[in-house]
Amino acid sequence: QVQLVESGGGLVQAGGSLRLSCAVSRRTFTVYAMGWFRQAPGKVREFVTSISWSGGSTYYADSVKGRLTISRDNAKNTVYLQMNSLKPEDTAVYYCAASTLVTGTWNYWGQGTQVTGSS
């Protein structure tokens, strides 16, 4: 089993910054990649960014490139999402996800943390 616990959400003014954390605990399986997804009210959950656990390769949705940065601290088993230049349209519940499958399927999810960007 893998447990993911997000923290760091909140209310921030447009243009502000916020850092989300995702602590990975009870790792009894190899984690191949970690990712962040978000779901805005009335919309489907969408991919934001991901990072490979070993090599650190990163991928970003076009809408967040240059503003959001994913990073990991293997020693702390923690993944971070640094959010800069926040926009009101970034408002959503942000979910941390883990893949323990070589197929890359996201098979573990956190409970989500609310991020609200005010205009």
Per residue in 60-72, pLDDT (tens digit) is 999 999 999 999 9
What does residue 90 show for φ and ψ, rounded to 5 degrees?
Answer: -80, -5
Q: What is the mean pLDDT of the chain?
A: 92
Residue 119: pLDDT band by 50, 70, 90 thresholds?
Answer: confident
Give the total residue count for the chain. 119
Say which residues have a Cβ less than 8 Å from residue 52's Cβ, sequence separation at least 6. 32, 33, 58
Which tokens belong to 112?
């989500």
Per residue in 6-61, pLDDT (tens digit) is 999 999 999 999 999 999 986 677 888 999 999 999 999 999 999 998 878 999 99
pLDDT at 115: 96
pLDDT at 56: 81
**Residue 96: what residue type?**
C
pLDDT at 27: 66
pLDDT at 55: 76
Mean pLDDT, to the nearest integer, of 82-103? Answer: 94
Nearest to 106 by CA among 61, 47, 62: 47
Nearest to 36 by CA among 79, 7, 2: 79
Q: Is the pLDDT of residue 92 over 90?
A: yes
pLDDT at 26: 63
DSSP 3-state of 56: coil
